[in-house]
Amino acid sequence: MVQAFDHLLDATIEHLGALKSDGHSSILMEDESMELLRKMVHSSKQKPRTTVEQKLKPRQNPIPETRKLDATVSVTPSQAIELAQEEKDLIGRVEDWPDLAPDQKELAMAELRKRAEECQRCSHLVQSRTQVVFGVGTVHADLMLVGEAPGMDEDREGKPFVGKAGQLLTKIIDAMGLSRDRIYIGNVLKCRPDTPGRSFGNRKPTPMEMQTCWPYLMEQIKIIRPRVLVALGTTAVDGLLGEKSLGITRLRGRFQDFRGIPVMPTYHPAYVLRNPAKAIKRQVWEDMLQVMEHLGMTVSAKQRQFFTK
């Protein structure tokens, strides 16, 4: 009965998460269904449930205060929630994180990349992905850009932002006076979300997928310790600030806080491609101007005038 309850709970959580992501805030249940759930809950309490720690292999510490993820074990939705919350509770703020030497950063990121590339935690994504899209750039970056998930192009090449949206992002980076090899670019989700029944197109990551992959992004941020984060689009904002964020339209243009690191939410390059109005481009550029100023970069008069005429 306990095992059956576990399966039912996991399936229910996954289904409710999907409904929530589709915009539903409530569901209608018959009295008989509620009574059945009450009986199963009562029966499950007769025996202790297996904890997440008992189900998964012990994890070790590759560097001080950085948890090692067990990449070889797939997890259920309820386990993903427990594991992600456990990681979040242990994180603290940036001033509490270890300040790694340059060579330690390189080694720590290489080890994290290896574990991410071997990750089996989302079995459906393991089956559909071509490869893990870990991240690109320098671990010594002051600026880190965070997107949502790999698309078809990224899944094929193994690098984030290489399609049309990536080309636009590169232009933005160049206009700032930077280059991709001087910053770091990663995603909330490291695998392309599967599209069952279709060999093309992309989809938004589910909350459960983001919860499962979240510790990898967190370790990347802890290793790099960027001075500024930029969240590209709603999914990236939700992944960094929480599922119940106010949304990109209300948050963009104002720095938010992630564990003591300033976060600038802005529109995803794909959104700009779909809505190429000069006003939208100017909003994104104004966000980037604030990032440049926060980093102490020189901003020329010409740069300040982009997309004003």
187 and 129 Cβ atoms separated by less than 8 Å: no
Whether the predicted model's global pTM rises above the 0.85 cut:
no
Residue at 56 is within a domain:
no
Looking at per-residue pLDDT, the higher value among 112 and 86 belongs to 112
Q: What is the pLDDT at residue 181? A: 97
Residue 46 pLDDT more than 80? no
Share of the chain above pLDDT 90, in %: 61
Q: How far apart are CA 128 and CA 191, in angstroms?
A: 9
The count of structural domains within the chain is: 1
209 and 124 Cβ atoms separated by less than 8 Å: no
Q: What is the pLDDT at residue 287? A: 99
Residue at 172 is within a domain:
yes
Name the nearest CA neighbour of 257 among 234, 235, 288, 231.
231
Q: What is the pLDDT at residue 54? A: 40
Residue at 70 is within a domain:
yes
Residue at 191 is within a domain:
yes
Residue at 258 is within a domain:
yes
* pLDDT tens by residue, 278-308: 999 999 999 999 999 999 999 999 999 999 9
| Domain boundaries, position 258 | 61-303
Residues in CB range of 142: below 8 A, 6 or more apart = 183, 226, 227, 228, 295
CATH of the domain at 143: 3.40.470.10
Residue at 89 is within a domain:
yes
Residue at 10 is within a domain:
no
Residue at 119 is within a domain:
yes
Alpha helices in the chain (DSSP H): 2-21, 31-44, 52-55, 77-91, 102-117, 123-128, 152-157, 164-175, 207-224, 234-241, 248-251, 269-274, 278-294, 301-304
At residue 8 the predicted structure's pLDDT band, cuts being 50, 70 and 90, is very low
Which residues sit opposite 146 in a β-bridge? 186, 231
* pLDDT tens by residue, 249-276: 899 999 999 999 999 999 999 999 999 9
